Amino acid sequence: RATEASEAPSLWRFDAGDGLHMDIRATADVGAARTGHYVLPGQDFRVAQEVVGDDGIRYLELADGRGWLFESKPGVGTMCVRSKKKQLLTL
């Protein structure tokens, strides 16, 4: 069962270090269906909710409603980090 880590909006940045994009998932699961949307390396995005899954991965629900990303991926490493930019949290 997943546990909620945070429901406060926060700003994150995607950068897996490989120069490739990351597909946004339909649900909070690394293996979930892809939505057809993606984020690019260095792209900041707003997160509406953070959920830690049974797999120990922190899932990030995008504030714009496009779906979910994940903080890290087993066998790959860090995918997303909290952004150091000043947060613009107007929803």
Q: Measured between alpha carbons, how far is 58 from 5 in angstroms, rounded to an integer?
A: 8
pLDDT of residue 2: 55
Rounded to two decimals, what is the model's pTM?
0.85
The helix (run of H) or strand (run of E) holding residue 41 is none
What pLDDT, in 10s, does the model give residues 30-73? Answer: 999 999 999 999 999 999 999 999 999 999 999 999 999 999 99
Residue 46 gets which letter from DSSP? E
Q: Measured between alpha carbons, how far is 11 from 44 in angstroms, rounded to an integer?
A: 7
